[in-house]
Amino acid sequence: MRRLFCALTLLTVSSLAVADDKPAVKEIDTKDFKLAVDRDGKPTAPTEIKTADELAKNAALKEAAEAIKKHVNFEKEKLVLFAWGGSGGDRITADAKNPGTFNYSPGFTRDYRLHVKLFVVPKDAVVKVVTVRQ
């Protein structure tokens, strides 16, 4: 009887885990891509790319569109592109608990660097950026 109860509990828990199959937020490594990004962008104003056509037309990602397409399923996901020039200590990270929420941490160094971050998020996620001070 105890084994039957344990088995039923395990099946219930595993079925609940399968039912919540929302795609996780993933970062796409851009270091090998040839990108034409704008240095005047803002880390708090990302670009959302919701379809393969938008990806192909995006001037910054045009050269790398085919390689990027392999990382995203546009039926369930969208891309979020951050591109800006700023301190070398600037950081953008995805909030693990809230898909679509990103934490921007401004750096304190006076060096000027180009930053590019590309994330895959669930298509229905509302994208917002929260500034976090260190």
Task: Give pLDDT tens digits along the chain (134 positions).
Answer: 454 343 444 444 444 444 455 558 999 999 888 888 877 889 999 999 999 999 999 888 888 999 999 999 999 999 999 999 999 999 999 998 999 999 999 999 999 999 999 999 999 999 999 999 86
- pLDDT at position 21: 55
* DSSP 3-state percent helix, strand, coil across the chain (nearest 5): 25, 30, 45
* For the chain, domain boundaries: 24-131
Q: Give Cα 8 to chain centroid, integer Å.
A: 36
What SS3 string covers 38-99? CCCCCCCCCEEECCHHHHHHCCCCHHHHHHHHCCCCCCCEEEEEEEEEEECCCEEEECCCCC
The whole model's pTM is what? 0.80
- pLDDT at position 12: 43
- pLDDT at position 32: 87
